[in-house]
Amino acid sequence: MKFCTVKQYFDDENNNNVTNGIATTVIPLPNKHLKIKANNKEMEQYEQELLRNVMPQELTKLILAANYLNFKEALDFFCRTVANAIQNKSVDYVRKFFGLESDFEPGEEEKLCKEFAWSFEGVDED
Amino acid sequence: MISSTSMISNHVPLELINSILSRLPVKALMRFLCVSKEWSALINSSNFIKKHLNHSIETNSDRTLILKEIFMNPPSQSRWFSVPYSDNDQFGKAVQIYQPLHNWEILDYCHGLVCLTFYNRYEEKEDIAIWNPLIRKCRKLPNEPIDKPSGSLYYSCSSFGFGYDPSNDDYKVMRIAQFFEGGLREFFEVKVYSLKSQCWKKIEKHLPIKEICSAQSVSLNGAFHWIVEQHGGSESILAFDFANEKFRLYRKPSNEDLASLEVLGGCLCFIECCPEIPTYNDFWLMKEYGDESSWTRIYKIESDAVLWNIDYFKPLLFSKNGQKVLMEGVSLIWYDIKNKRGKKVKNRSFPKRFKTATCIESLLLLDGDNVIDPKQKKNKRKR
């Protein structure tokens, strides 16, 4: 099923949704993943490599591509990679990462941050 | 150019945000409540909390041990700590944490929640609270009086239990108060507290037993279990099922008088304790829940295997390869089943003597009361 979707993808010339660069990353992944499924250490290394070579914002595009291609293993992998990338980051960093803005009323956000001030300790520098 | 269905924009739909966030540790999630109203609503939703919990249970990798110092003089000096426990059976550094309530005891724990009790000597009642240490939330249970029966029965003691009810996706605290009349009659008052409904309920069911022998029950597969004495003098294991609210009895694997129940590796664990020298602890597991013929002896700790003068080792969990068991004496010990040798866990950051609770990452009780450390310094908040 995975490969049918990919083929259909490239046949559809009007489809701008997945840039070539991203399709290149996504397609080789299934083979690698299936081959080294049992080896967690190699997957960790691949994850590190991905984080080094791919810009954070590109990771979100990989997730969207994997979701569109209905490619569950790649989606799980990229979601986990993004989770690991953001888990110790600040609120501002995460907003930039996903292109979000605060929609809290003035003072509302301050109140929340104060209530859970302990969760801000030890966060990575932006 | 950027439409709502276009993937050229960076906009990740909420369902994918959901998948990413469900993999995060709870400390990050508490911080990300401040990202936006949508994220706050998502993280607070019961569906997300359930999804996140299921992921923690399935991966079972990043656990935290909560340690409570014991035998301190005065007892109010007892400190609490949290220790990361990783997938490769390694312990990190113990960090002191603020306890929600002074000098309370650990009753039991489940899915990141720790149930605490405190015996209020002056008012002669037991206070109970449920705590999620990783998100610093707590809920104190409403005080529930014991309904004393009429007649000359006198109150003996209460036995407690805390556990998960899968049929109602709820967490329950159970109290069985025992009354006796000079060995002639006995009476039991059974009440159950539901975390979901936040109230106590009386169970009007007859207990087919004479006496409950254990101070606390163990929770497994939606039921509480105790060692009990039946009319006629023999001992059995009593189980109370949350779903159908029925009691049933199981046979013990051995007839040794001094015994205890625990949960180990997802199975009911029966521990025979021989009090006479040479002392030993004999461990049995009910491999198939409910099947008495599946009681299997898995190992026996002889007194010379561990260099301690303790008569009871509480088993906590198996090591990743299943060859060792982490035990709680006054400190932690790894017991190697094949080589029959115990080795103390050496970690300078641990207190000398303590009891433990094991927590997984969970957002349960996110709607509880905040546990605020009054000594918390006003750090420069990093946004």
Task: Name which of B1, B17, B35, B88 to mutate to probe chain A: the one with the most chain A Cβ atoms within 10 A of its Cβ.
Answer: B35
B153-175: average pLDDT: 93
Nearest C-alpha of chain B: how many angstroms from A31? 23
In terms of Cβ atoms closer than 10 Å to its own Cβ (0-12, 13-18, 19+), residue A105 is exposed
Give the tokens for residue B331.
């400190």
Q: Which residues pair with B16 in a beta bridge?
A: none
Count CB atoms within 10 A of the CB of residue B312.
Answer: 14
Answer whether B220's CB lies under 8 Å from B162's CB.
no
pLDDT in tens, B52-79: 999 999 998 889 999 999 887 777 778 9
Complete domains list, chain A, with CATH = 1-87 (3.30.710.10), 88-126 (no CATH)
A60 touching chain B per CB within 8 A? yes
Residue type at A26 in one-letter notation: V
Distance from CA of A64 to the nearest CA of B (A): 7
> Which of B11, B21, B381 minimises the CB distance to A117?
B381
ipTM confidence? 0.84
CA distance A85 to chain B (A): 10
pLDDT tens per residue across span B183-216: 777 889 999 999 999 999 999 888 888 889 887 8
What is the distance between the alpha carbons of residues B235 and B248, in angstroms, rounded to a whole number? 13
Question: Three-state secondary structure along B116-139?
Answer: EEEEECCCCEEEEEEEECCCCEEE
Alpha carbon distance B32, B21 (integer Å)? 9
Contact A87 B40 (CB under 8 A): no
Half-sphere exposure of A34 (CA within 13 A, CB side): 7
Compute the nearest-CA separation of A57 from chain B (Å): 7
Contacts of B148 (CB under 8 A, 6+ apart): B155, B179
Please tell me the predicted confidence (pLDDT) of residue B152. Answer: 79
Q: What is the mean pLDDT of residues B129-134?
A: 96
Residue B35: list chain A partners with CB under 8 A.
91, 94-95, 100, 102
Q: How sure is the predictor about A30, in pLDDT bands with cuts at 50, 70 and 90? A: low
pLDDT at A72: 82
The whole-angstrom distance between residue A23's C-alpha and the CA centroid of its chain comes to 15
Q: How confident is the model at residue B308 (pLDDT cuts 50, 70, 90)?
A: low
Rounded to whole angstroms, the Cα distance separating B207 from A123 reads 54
Phi and psi, residue A63, nearest 5°: -65, -45
A8 at the B interface (CB within 8 A)?
no
Mean pLDDT of chain B: 88
CB B207 within 8 A of CB B188: yes
**Cβ–Cβ contact A90 with B under 8 A:** yes
Do the chains contact at B23 and A80, CB–CB below 8 Å? yes
Q: What's the rounded Cα separation, in Å, for the pair B124 and B131?
A: 23
> What does the pLDDT average to over B137-148?
92
